[in-house]
Copies of this chain bind each other. A is one copy, B any other.
Amino acid sequence: MPEAGPASSPTATAEVPAQRLAKVAILLSGRGSNFLALHDAMLRGEVPAEIVLVISNVAAAPGLARARERGLDVAVIAHRGEPDRATHERKVLAALRTAGAEWICLAGYMRRLSAELVGAFPQRILNIHPSLLPAFPGLDAQAQAWEHGVKVSGCTVHLVDAGLDSGPIVVQRAVPVEEDDDAHRLAERILRDEHRAYPEALRRLLTTPWRIEGRRCVFHEEAAANAAAAPPPENAEESVAEDAVRG
């Protein structure tokens, strides 16, 4: 469940499984290439997580078909036909809870999340955006960047808050704009980096102590290195991601 850190689960047994996997739900509306990159990284053992549910608001989303091919649980929860946003989101939230999702990774999910849904998974919802935020939020970020004439763009994995592409930044990767780029070629090259950045971000959140300071997402690599050698202290000051930091 999306409770934060070991301090909130004092009754947890001391024998935390060495390979406890975080339970991740994916929300997508299209091809879901970032979902596939995340899943591939999990299957390779690079990210200590498993996908418990893939939700799409679009029945025909190609990403949903790929999820079925991979034997993952899927749910179509269409927003069309619902009387309002709240009704749709209640169904999404119910599905997430039934699946036992602890983390949500947005992978081309073309709907804004309400403050209620964000509040139900505080600091446990990730999104990826094809620019170096805070530059070029919103739609068509790659075309925005190309037209602006930047020489460096990239991608951003961030925690989701109630704003638009505005939550604390977890990972960014810079991608140079080449002289012979157009917006499409630039988007393709950024996408290749997205497929690395998203697994890297989730891996770091699950394996390295971190906390939010102001709006910075601060990782403590040293603490992570120590945690590999010794069990974490009983009253860890750090907010660690679930109990994935292993003693």
How many copies make up the complex?
Answer: 2
Contacts of A215 in B (CB 8 A): 147-149
Contacts of A136 in B (CB 8 A): 134
Point out the residue from B134, B152, B179, B216 that lies within 8 Å of A173, measured CB to CB: B152
Determine whether the beta carbon of B169 is less than 8 Å from that of A151: yes
Point out the residue from B150, B151, B214 that lies within 8 Å of A149, measured CB to CB: B214
The interface size of chain A toward B, counting residues with CB under 8 Å, comes to: 30
- A211-230: contact bitstring with B at CB < 8 Å (1 yes, 0 no)? 00011111111000000000
Determine whether the beta carbon of A149 is less than 8 Å from that of B168: yes
Determine whether the beta carbon of B149 is less than 8 Å from that of A216: yes
Determine whether the beta carbon of B147 is less than 8 Å from that of A172: no
Determine whether the beta carbon of A217 is less than 8 Å from that of B149: yes
A43 at the interface (CB under 8 A from B): no
Contacts of A219 in B (CB 8 A): 179
Point out the residue from B134, B151, B179, B214 that lies within 8 Å of A172, measured CB to CB: B151
A154 at the interface (CB under 8 A from B): yes
Contacts of A147 in B (CB 8 A): 214-216
Determine whether the beta carbon of B149 is less than 8 Å from that of A171: no
A132 at the interface (CB under 8 A from B): yes
A24 at the interface (CB under 8 A from B): no
- A106-146: contact bitstring with B at CB < 8 Å (1 yes, 0 no)? 00000000000000000000000000111110000000001
A86 at the interface (CB under 8 A from B): no
Determine whether the beta carbon of B179 is less than 8 Å from that of A218: yes
Determine whether the beta carbon of B150 is less than 8 Å from that of A221: no
A1 at the interface (CB under 8 A from B): no
Lowest 10 A-B CB distances belong to which pairs? A149-B216, A174-B174, A151-B172, A152-B172, A135-B135, A152-B174, A149-B169, A149-B215, A179-B219, A134-B135
A residues near B (Cβ < 8 Å) are 132-136, 146-152, 154, 168-174, 176, 179, 214-221
Q: A134-B150, A152-B154, A179-B219 are in contact. List 11 more A-B contacts (CB 8 A).
A: A132-B150, A133-B135, A134-B136, A147-B214, A147-B216, A148-B169, A148-B215, A149-B216, A150-B169, A151-B171, A179-B218
